[in-house]
Structure 1
């Protein structure tokens, strides 16, 4: 959750910077009524590499959490399969 909030904050900062630069005429303002779309796109393009570098630690921590959850789910699934196999073997032994 923390990574997502930081990623969004970084995008918002890049969006505001792009909006300001567009307003000052440093970067093009887009064509016709496309200014908002242009600034959003520019904010995304700027924030992506920045988040890759600046949020590396948080991204790795989030990745570790996901891996742990997947491993726990795999262990639960394997335990359920063993229990099911045991019940199946017991039913075949009786029948």
Structure 2
């Protein structure tokens, strides 16, 4: 069985995928004339900004479950790190008392 990739890596890849999909759809719509072109040579910048604006709410809605899984994974790691730190401190306190 292959190891499961990190929830953070999956979330980031999915978020980039949604952005790329939005970018190419919007680029096509601008190319076909459905959406207005940017001013002068700003066409690429216009499509990038529009793709960010469109992909952000889509990611927020579509990736809710993935975001919660990532959050749980991060909280688990932080809790384990805190417990290790507390154990190390208690061991140091025990050594100092001797």
Q: Report the TM-score, using the length of structure 2 for normalisation.
A: 0.86
Equivalent residue, structure 1, for 2:69? 61
Gaps of 5+ in 1: 91-95
Match of 1:87 in 2: 95
Deviation by residue 1:42-94 (Cα, 9 ceiling, x = unmatched): 1111000001101111111011000000000100111111111111121xxxx
Per-residue CA deviations over 1:1-35 (Å, capped at 9, x if unaligned) read 11111111110000011111111222222111111
Structure 1 counterpart of 2:51: 43
Q: In the alignment, which residue of structure 1 is the partner of 2:12?
A: 4
Whichever of the two has the greater Rg, that structure is 1
Higher RCO (CA 8 Å, separation ≥ 6 residues) = 2
1:19 aligned to 8, 15, 27, which one? Answer: 27
TM-score, normalised on structure 1?
0.89
Q: 1:32 aligns with which of 22, 40, 52?
A: 40
For these two proteins, the number of residue pairs brought into alignment is 90
CA distance in 2, matches of 1:12, 1:75: 40
What RMSD over aligned residues (CA atoms) do the two structures have, in Å?
A: 0.9
Structure 2: runs of 5+ lacking an equivalent: 1-8
